[in-house]
A and B are shown apart, each in its own frame.
Chain A
C-alpha cells in the first residue's frame, strides 16, 4: 500500500519505524486504538526522524501533518519547537499559524506551552508583540476561565514585566465587568497588584516562601494601591454580595498590607443586619464569616453566633468546618 510518505521521493531515504504496540509479545496490549492508515504511517516516519534527531524542513512539515491528525500529541509539539529553533525559522509566522490552531482546539493543552516556548525567544520577541493581548482576549471570549490560557498570560506578565501595563489591568477589569464571578480574572488581578516582582523564584503570594501565617505579607506596601483595591472589591461585592471572589481578594489585600479585617466592620455590617428583636438578616455568607473573624478575639460569643448561623442556616453543607471553627475559637485563650 503506497502511503503519502512512502510514495514521496523526498522521504525515500527514510526507513520508517513501524509501531510496536507490544502485541508480538504474545499478549494483547491494553486500550489500543485502531489507527487510521495515514496516522499510522505518519507516526512511523516521525519515530524515524526523531530517532535520528533530524532537524529539517520535511520533518517540520511532518509535525504539522501529525498535529492536524492529533493535536493532543505532546511529543510532536516539543520536537516541532526544537526544529523551529534549530533551523532559525520565522517565529512570527509560526505564531500566526498557531493562532489558527488555538482557536480550533480550544481545550488543547500543548498549544499554550508551545506558545510560551516561542515567546521565550528574546531574539524574536524582545518586547510583547502588540497583538498578543487582544488574541488572548479573543480566547477568553470563548472560555473566560481557561486555565491554560491564564497560566500562559501569567507567564507573559512575568516575562515581559507587565505588572503595570495598562492593557493588562484593562483586560482584567473588562473580564470582571462582564462576569464579576470570574475568579480567574480576580486571581490575575491579585498577581498584577501584589505578586512578587523581583525574586526570580517567588511568583504567587507575596512572601510565599515564609512559613504559615507569615505568608502573603508584603515587606513594602503602597497604601494608596491597597485602598484603591479595597474600594474596587467593595464596589464589586455590592453588585453580588454572595460572590466569593471579591471577598477572598479583599482578604488577600488586607493580608498583604498587614492590615486587620476590622477596618471593614462597618461595610460588612451592611450585609448582616441585626434587627431590634434580635433577628439577623443575612445577605452574604462571606460577610458572616468575616464578622466571625473580626469578633474571634474580643467578642467570642458574637463570633460563635455568626458561625452558628452559617452552620445552622446559611451554609450547612460546611457544618463540620463551622463546628471546627467554633471549637477553635472557644478553646483559644
Chain B
C-alpha cells in the first residue's frame, strides 16, 4: 500500500506514464461540455497511437465467463460509413480485446465472469501522486486545482482510504482561493466560480472537522451566490460567466450543505425580476433543459448530454423527493428511453450523447442518474425496511465489465483503452463502479428536519451482493473489488455530507 505522509515536508513529484504537457484543459467546468469530456492531468494528444490494432472478429480466445453480448458487435449494422460510424468501429476494435479478457496488461486474477481484478493499490498510489506537484507545462490546470483535490479525495474515499489526514493540507490549499467577496476561485486571485466552490466545499466536507468547516465564509458565499441567480430561475457559473445547469447544481449543493438561507440577499439582482429565493423558478428552468430526445442539455435548447442530465436530476432531487419532483418537471418515459440508450453493447459502458462514444466518466454522469430515476419510480422507503424487490433499469453487468476490463490502466483509470488515465476519470469510473455495487434509496429518516432539504439528507444504501446471478442481473465483480458507497447527490461519503450539514445547522448565521 503506498503511503505518503500527508503533512510531511517531503514533496513528491507527480509521476506520469508519459510526461507530456496538457494541451487542452477546460478550467472549472464539470467536464461536461467538451467533445472529449476528459481534460485533466494527462489527456494526451497522441494517445491513440498506443492502441493495439486488432481484428473485430472473436477468433482470439475469449476468457470463460464472458457472454457473447460483450464480445460481438451489435446484430444490426448499417453499411453506410460516416465519421461517426468510423469512430465507433475504431472504439469497438480497441475495446473488444479488453472485454474478451485476453490483454496481457490486464490484471490477474480474473473473476469467474472473466473480469480482471480492481488494481486497488495502484489506483490509490495514482491518486496520492495526483495531489503532488506538477511540472510547469501543466499550467493549463491552474484554474482546476480545486477539482484535482476533489477528484483525488473522492476517489481515495471510494477506495477505502482515510482522507482526513489531508485536513491541514486541504485548508492550506483552499484558504488563499477564497475571495473576500464570497466563494472560491480556481486559485489565488482568481474569480469565484461555482465549480471551484463546489469542489472546495466537498473537499472540505471530506476531510471534515471544525477547522475545515470554519474556513468557509458562509455569509460571503450566500451573498456571492445571490449575484449568480438569474431572472429565468437558473444560475451563472461566475459573475459575467455563462449560465448553465452546472451552475444550478453546484449552487444548490453548496446552499444545502452549508445551511445557507434560501432567501436571496437583498441586493441580489434577480430580486428586481420578482424572484425571492434561490429556488424561485429553478425547477422550471431545469424542466426547460429536457430536450425532445428526453435527456437534459446544458441550457434550454442545446443537445441532451449525460453530464448535464446528472446535474439537472441531482439538483431536482436536492430540492424535493425524487418521486415528486422528477415526474412533475420531466417527461419520465422520454427520459428513461434516452437514458437507457446511453448504454452500448458490446462495450457495456455509457456514452454521453446520441451517436457519441463510450467514455468511462459517464459511468458516473449517466450511471449516477439511474439511482435518482429509480428512486423516483420506487418512491420513499422506510429506512428500517426498504423494499428489497426493486431492480434496476440498466445493465449493471455491462457497466462493471466496461470499468474493470476497459478503463483500468496500470495505475489509475481512463476514458477508454488507448487513452491515458487521469484523476478525473479515476474518480468518476470508481464512482460508477460504486453505483453498480450499492442500491441507493431515499427514506423517511433524514439527518436534517429542515425543509426543503430533508429528502436530500435521507439517502441510504444497501450493498448489492457479489453473488447475484440471475436472468436479468449479474454481479461480475469479486467481493475484494468492492468500493465504498458515495452519496448519490453530493458524490462524497454520506457521513461527510451529513456531518457538514449538521455542523452548520448548529452554527446559524446571524443576519440581523
Contact = CB atoms under 8 A, between A and B. Distances in A.
Interface string A234-278: 000001111111001101100110000000000000000000000
Contacts of B138: 33
Nearest to A179: B82
B456 to A, nearest CB: 22
A205 B135 contact: no
A320 B394 contact: yes
Contacts of B305: 147
Contact of B135 (A31, A34, A117): A34
B185 A195 contact: no
A324 B340 CA distance: 11
A72 B472 contact: no
A144 B84 CA distance: 10
A63 interface: no
B297 A204 contact: yes
Given A29-B173, A72-B25, A47 B302 contact: no
Contacts of A34: 133-136
B496 interface: no
B188 to A, nearest CB: 5
Interface string A57-90: 0000000000001111111001101100000000
B338 to A, nearest CB: 8
A74 B302 contact: no
A147 B416 CA distance: 20
Contacts of A203: 288, 299-301
B473 to A, nearest CB: 7
Contacts of A216: 292, 331
A158 B300 CA distance: 11
A44 to B, nearest CB: 8
Interface stretch (B235-243, B255-263, B425-433): B235-243
Contacts of B304: 187
Nearest to B77: A242
Interface in A190-214: 190-191, 194-195, 200-205, 208-209, 211-213
Given A29-B172, A36-B139, A72-B140, A201 B232 contact: yes
A314 B76 contact: yes
Nearest to A207: B288
Given A74-B28, A195-B301, A208-B287, A285 B76 contact: yes
B288 A29 contact: no
Nearest to A215: B331
Given A28-B11, A145-B35, A183-B354, A284 B76 contact: yes
A318 interface: yes
B288 A70 contact: no
Nearest to B335: A212
B391 A147 contact: no
Nearest to A320: B393
Contact of B148 (A31, A73, A110): A31
A213 to B, nearest CB: 6
A160 interface: no
Contacts of A29: 169, 172-173
Nearest to A81: B240
Contacts of B293: 187, 248, 252
Interface stretch (B89-97, B104-112, B343-351, B438-446): B343-351
Nearest to B242: A113
Contact of B288 (A158, A204, A245, A319): A204
B355 A244 contact: yes
Nearest to B177: A22
Contacts of A252: 292-293
Interface in A1-45: 17, 19-23, 25-36, 39, 43
Interface residues of B, number: 115
Contact of B391 (A71, A74, A79, A320): A320
B497 interface: no
Contacts of B186: 74-75
Given A204-B291, A320-B473, A183 B139 contact: no
B510 to A, nearest CB: 28
A313 B74 CA distance: 10
B403 to A, nearest CB: 15
A321 interface: yes
B277 interface: no
A181 interface: yes
B329 interface: yes
A143 B288 contact: no
Contact of B69 (A109, A204, A251, A316): A316
A283 interface: yes
Interface string B291-311: 111100111111111000000
B289 interface: yes
A109 B84 contact: no
A46 interface: yes
B9 interface: yes
Given A43-B189, A70-B142, A78-B239, 13 more contacts: A31-B130, A31-B149, A39-B136, A73-B142, A79-B191, A148-B33, A180-B82, A181-B84, A183-B356, A187-B304, A201-B232, A243-B78, A320-B391
29 contacts: A20-B188, A21-B173, A21-B187, A27-B7, A27-B169, A29-B173, A30-B132, A30-B170, A30-B173, A31-B134, A33-B136, A33-B139, A72-B25, A72-B143, A78-B238, A82-B240, A106-B24, A110-B27, A113-B241, A154-B301, A179-B82, A187-B302, A190-B291, A202-B300, A204-B291, A211-B328, A211-B329, A215-B287, A317-B343
Interface of B: 7-9, 11, 24-29, 33-36, 39, 69, 74-78, 80, 82-85, 130-136, 138-145, 148-149, 152, 166, 168-176, 185-191, 193, 232-233, 238-242, 284-285, 287-294, 297-305, 327-332, 334, 336, 338, 340-341, 343-345, 348, 353-356, 391-395, 398, 472-473
